[in-house]
Chain A
Amino acid sequence: MAGRGDEGAQGASGRRARGELESDVLATLWAAGGPLTARDVRERLPGDLAYTTVLTILSRLYDKGILVRHRDGRGYAYEPARDEASHTAQRMHSLLEGGSDREAVLARFVSELSEQDENVLHQLLSGHGGTPPEAESKRSPGKR
């Protein structure tokens, strides 16, 4: 409890923050499915980042060979370099097939869903329109 999340982040603040921004930018470009300019990327990133910051990150990722770019008007449009990534996909799949042993090492974002879970999940997400569902949260501890 002593080491709350951001306490550690402040220690190596500069580098870690930069690394995290790189991840966010990279994720945005992959999700877009087409080339994006620095301005497009900035619009899609949560928070209010300076245009130059986004530009710096994009060119750094480009220098690392992770992105490719094309001329777009006065600037560039960036896109993820795909060749390496499809290569890795196979290895990662085989890594995930390690059976119950790998469960300990690899923490997947989400576990498998049963059909019932799927229905519950649809209800939960659709039920949560704008106002927080008080009744739902009150009920939740008893249900499992």
Chain B
Amino acid sequence: MLVSVYVPFLVTAALAVLAPPVARRLPPRPAAWALACAALVTAAGWAGSLALLAFTGVAQIPQIAAEGRWSVAVLRSEDPVSFVVAAGSTLVLTAGVVSLGVAAVRQGRQLVRARRECARLPGRTELAVIDDDAALAFALPGAPGRIVVSRGMLCCLGDEERTALLAHERAHLRGRHHIFRCVWRLTAALNPLLRPVAVAGDFVLERWADEEAAERVGDRAVVAHAVGRAALASAGASRPAALAVTGGAVPQRVRALLGPPPARRSLPLLVGGLLLVACCASLANAASDSDRMLDSAQGALCSAHAGTATAAPADHGHGTDGCRIDRDRPESGEQRF
């Protein structure tokens, strides 16, 4: 408990720093899956560790100890967590859960709205063109999802580049990339340390769609030019700055497409996987430690009670059992003594 409960924090911090730059250089599809796994596992580990730390503090509140029938004195003597740490964990966890809830509601609303708009789009074709001079293109998830492109965007691209654009958006829909995006945003809402992972994740998804478009068109340079030209055309049309993801994302995509396809590398994925396993294992270890601690605190209280009433049962496990029965009759224990 002393060390293992903090390991998930270390893993989260390590991944938040190391994963984004590494993921940007890996082939985008495995990188996206790796980032999604990393975000989910570390978010769960983070919340789990905070909950354990918070619980050790909460469990020492006399009223709660009375409710749970464990000995505050024993808990305090065994517990290595200071009250300040426990209180801080409680605060951070509460803030995280609230922000997660808010984010989940907002994301859900956006998703519902997108689906509704998707169903309302005219025509039963994959592509819906909007009659607008501004250059815009996006994938609208739904059942089935649609590709929305403006006339302005189509006009600024060459024949092959249009195919590349459609293939790119198709890859987003087929890969259900909006789910990845939601995962990253929700995990980042729970744990702000994961924000760089979300930013890198968005970039990796664009790269994934770019690479799939390049495979489809058969020419990486065509996709590079499509992305570059579309970005320049969009820059001409004035759009609010809220749409920016990261500075320099488009030039990076174009550069990556003009270069050779990224080489497969398994070492970073392996290291990341090991870190995640370490995170899970230490959380499990901390949880079982804390469970054992609670058990012994319950046992101590119970045998103390039992000792005054009858002869104390020598067997520790038996004592715990007795306590469980006691707990079912909440009045009996406290009032008899």
Contacts and interface: CB of A to CB of B under 8 A. Distances in A.
A46 B242 contact: no
Nearest to A137: B259
A5 B211 CA distance: 10
A50 interface: no
Contacts of A91: 117, 120
Given A1-B29, A136-B259, A85 B228 contact: no
Contacts of A23: 125-127, 147, 166
Contacts of A141: 25
A106 B139 contact: yes
B234 A113 contact: yes
- The secondary structure that dominates the A interface is helix
B149 A121 contact: no
Interface string B245-260: 1111111101110111
Given A1-B29, A128-B221, A27 B110 contact: no
Interface stretch (B74-82, B172-180, B294-302): B172-180
B247 A114 contact: yes
Nearest to B157: A31
A98 B138 CA distance: 14
A105 to B, nearest CB: 5
B221 A105 contact: no
B128 A99 contact: no
Interface stretch (B52-60, B212-220, B324-332): B212-220
B190 interface: no
A106 to B, nearest CB: 5
B181 A107 contact: yes
Interface residues of B, number: 98
B123 A24 contact: no
B316 interface: no
Contacts of B169: 107, 109
Interface in B204-231: 205-206, 209, 212, 215-217, 221, 224-225, 227-231
Contact of A125 (B111, B209, B225): B225
Contacts of A133: 258
A132 B256 CA distance: 12
Interface string A22-43: 1110111011010000000000
A104 B258 contact: no
B234 A27 contact: no
18 contacts: A23-B125, A27-B166, A33-B155, A64-B124, A66-B122, A88-B130, A89-B150, A91-B117, A93-B132, A95-B140, A98-B110, A99-B242, A104-B178, A105-B111, A105-B182, A114-B244, A117-B251, A125-B229
Given A109-B165, A118-B235, 20 more contacts: A19-B126, A23-B147, A28-B159, A30-B129, A31-B151, A88-B122, A95-B114, A98-B110, A107-B181, A107-B209, A108-B136, A109-B136, A110-B230, A113-B234, A113-B235, A117-B247, A124-B228, A125-B228, A140-B256, A143-B255
Interface of B: 21, 24-25, 29-30, 106-107, 109-111, 113-114, 117, 120-132, 136-141, 147-151, 153-155, 157, 159-160, 162-163, 165-166, 168-172, 174, 177-178, 181-182, 184-185, 202, 205-206, 209, 212, 215-217, 221, 224-225, 227-232, 234-235, 239-252, 254-256, 258-260
Interface of A: 1, 5, 8, 19-20, 22-24, 26-28, 30-31, 33, 44-46, 61, 64-66, 80, 82, 84-89, 91-93, 95-114, 116-118, 120-122, 124-125, 128, 132-133, 136-138, 140-141, 143-144
